[in-house]
Structure 1
Amino acid sequence: MNSKRWQTILENQGINLDIDYSEYLQKELSIPAGGIIDALERLIENSIEHAFGNIKSPSIKISLINKDNIVLIKFSDNGVGVDLENPNHIFIPYYSTKPRNLTVGLGLSSVKSIVVNQLKGDVYISQSETGLTINIELPKAL
């Protein structure tokens, strides 16, 4: 992921980006980086478009965590969050919280498609005190 490019885009919008990962973990992964990059870029775009509104000090944190035979990528923002009564609806194609003429509603469904179909992983939402946390579990090797 070209984090410097995204850092610049986010800084221009007043959004802080924090990426937390271990060099050891990065060396241990043997899955295609392209799919991970695509998924993370779509998550960033989704946060920019939907999350922040009137949030003071908006921020995004991406953490890579080593868990046995998987890597957990936690993507968190401190935005407005989602309805957690049925959170997985955000992964359904064409679902959007915005009017149809403003958005298509494919961003998060494409994230799920990339993670499940290309990377053979899983994606789900977890409870967060503020904003939204999307978890991506990936095998360390395909």
Structure 2
Amino acid sequence: MSICTLKVSLRSGAYADGPWEAVIEIDSSALLEDLHFAIQSALGFDNDHLYEFFIASTERSRDRVRFDDENGYLYEKTIEILHPLPDKKSLYYLFDYGDDWLFKVAKINRKEQAADPHATYPRVVREAGTKPTQYPDLDEDV
């Protein structure tokens, strides 16, 4: 097993409360669907909404290559197939089309590393910032 190290950085979301990022080690042959579950686990989110990954120049670019449930690429494309990304392009992860949780996913190491035989993958190796809350308790005055 070859391990890929990815930095997942929160860009925006309905209840985002400051910056957050996590460094995740994952098998480079993992599917995008597996990366989705790894990010969900790192966040502590409920997996109850649609999601997609896309490659684009910017997070707002209309010129994007999408990987979603509709085209089935979530279940076919692996992390290693996507890298290296095209020049001046980034990988993004969009979860919940209503609350629009958007994350940038960047590969930190160009070279993959051998798996630690004592570790379980995927795993979060570092985290910084304020972890977002998917469904905060909103006090509403009636």
With normalisation by structure 1, the TM-score equals 0.26
Structure showing the higher helix proportion among its residues: 1
Provide TM-score, normalisation by structure 2. Answer: 0.26
Identify the structure with the greater strand proportion: 2
